Amino acid sequence: MQQIAIFGGTFDPIHWGHLLIAEAAMAQISMEQLIWVPSINPPHKQATAFEHRLAMLKLATRNNPAFTVSIIEKESVGNSYAINTLINLSALYPNTHWYWIIGLDAFQTLPRWYCGIELAQMCDWLIAPRPAGAETISQSESVCKQVEQKFKEKSNTINWQLLNTPLVRVSSSKIREFCRLGVSIKNLVPESVRLYISTHQLYSDNPE
Ligand SMILES: Nc1ncnc2c1ncn2[C@@H]1O[C@H](COP(=O)(O)OP(=O)(O)OP(=O)(O)O)[C@@H](O)[C@H]1O
Ligand SMILES: O=C(O)c1ccc[n+]([C@@H]2O[C@H](COP(=O)([O-])O)[C@@H](O)[C@H]2O)c1
């Protein structure tokens, strides 16, 4: 059976934090492929046009042959729910053991996701520590255990492990804010992404 990880996100835009997490997951788990899945209509946030986010994702991931970018959520009608993404990908990649890569902040919200209980058991969860409430590994672990407890209370299990990554304080919102303020994002995104943002005047007060 092959092992594949999904890394879902809004990626508005993709940044070095995402790339570091993906590399850490590949180093920690023996897997054939890592599939990046940009959300077309994130259920919980507004986002820049899908085509721009997709283009930046492709630029940033093109040098790693184990990385694939999937547009599977483009076919979804309405909100792009993670459970549908996993079901649809499972049809394309049968006989696969699935992992889902997620930041600690998003993992905390999993019990409230659409069909979250069912989804939780359909894959193993690889959690990237993230600042905001969990500054150490043991704090991150205890946050994950609290999430696990919520599933246990409903007689469900969840398999998870923390990724061995340092805390990275970069976020897409910080990048969008820096662009609005005219502050350099040179060290926060790959150069190809920085150039794309600048060429298309994304996130500035004078969008295309
Ligand atoms: N610096 C980071 N450390 C750990 N996890 C992260 C980091 N940045 C993003 N993630 C995780 O990557 C996934 C996709 O994140 P997303 O594309 O929404 O980026 P973001 O930086 O969280 O965006 P925003 O600031 O707009 O909320 C989520 O699971 C999120 O928790
Ligand atoms: O399916 C859901 O109900 C759901 C609710 C919130 C987030 N998600 C997924 O979580 C992933 C990370 O989302 P985000 O907003 O942190 O970019 C992305 O793949 C989303 O589709 C999914």
Over range 8-13, report the average pLDDT: 97
Question: Residue type for 100, please?
Answer: W
Number of the ligand closest to the Cα of 57: 1
Give start and end residues of each alpha helix (H) in 69-122. Answer: 82-92, 104-107, 116-120
Number of the ligand closest to the Cα of 113: 2
Tokens 């979250």 correspond to what residue?
116
Tokens of 5: 């990880």
d(CA 70, CA 161) in angstroms, rounded, equals 24
- Which residue's alpha carbon is nearest to atom 13 within ligand 1? 9
Domain residue spans of the chain: 2-169
Centre of ligand 1 from the C-alpha of residue 123, in Å: 20
Mean pLDDT, the chain, whole residue set: 93
Centre of ligand 1 from the C-alpha of residue 20, in Å: 11
Q: Answer yes or no: is pLDDT of 208 > 60.
A: no
d(CA 128, CA 145) in angstroms, rounded, equals 14
- The domain made up of 2-169 is a member of CATH 3.40.50.620: yes
d(CA 152, CA 169) in angstroms, rounded, equals 31
Tokens 């919200």 correspond to what residue?
109
**Residues with beta carbon inside 6 Å of ligand 1?**
9-12, 17-18, 21, 102-103, 105-106, 128, 130, 168, 170-173
Centre of ligand 2 from the C-alpha of residue 166, in Å: 22
Centre of ligand 2 from the C-alpha of residue 101, in Å: 11
Over range 197-203, report the average pLDDT: 96
The pLDDT of residue 46 is 84
53-77 pLDDT, tens digit per residue, is: 999 999 999 999 999 999 999 877 7
- Which residue's alpha carbon is nearest to atom 10 within ligand 1? 103
Centre of ligand 1 from the C-alpha of residue 14, in Å: 9
> Is 93 within 8 Å of 104 (Cβ atoms)?
no
Assess: ipTM above 0.90.
yes
